[in-house]
Amino acid sequence: MVHDFTLVYALDSGMGSQEDVLRQLAGSDCADATVGWGRPGHVGLAFSREASDRDAAVKLATVQMAQALPGAVLVRVDAA
């Protein structure tokens, strides 16, 4: 089953520019996310992931994000 959800992260000021963050994401397991910039210093990633349940999909994405953007802090999970 496909699960849609959005992860919102606060970015550390040392993570560089939006282009730097996008480069890190493009080379990661989160390259399938649609990236959005709202509040300054925050990034939202919308996922549509196949998994047995939504919790499994969200957990895998948060683990992958921790690897892609170490230091980013998960602020919110919005599940559709």
Burial of 43 (0-12, 13-18, 19+ CB in 10 A): buried
pLDDT of residue 38: 87
Q: Give the model's pLDDT for residue 74.
A: 98
Let me know the angle formed at the C-alpha of 28 by 24 and 34, rounded to the nearest 5 degrees.
80
* CA distances to 6, 7, 47, 62, 64 from 52, in Å: 18, 19, 15, 16, 17
Give CA–CA dist 36/59, Å, rounded: 20
> pLDDT, tens digit, for every residue of 6-31?
999 999 888 889 999 999 999 899 98
Q: What is the pLDDT of residues 22-73, one digit of tens each?
A: 999 998 999 899 999 988 999 999 999 999 999 999 999 999 999 999 999 9
pLDDT score of 78 more than 90? yes
Q: Where does 2-79 sit in CATH, by number?
A: 3.30.70.3400
- Structural domain boundaries in the chain: 2-79
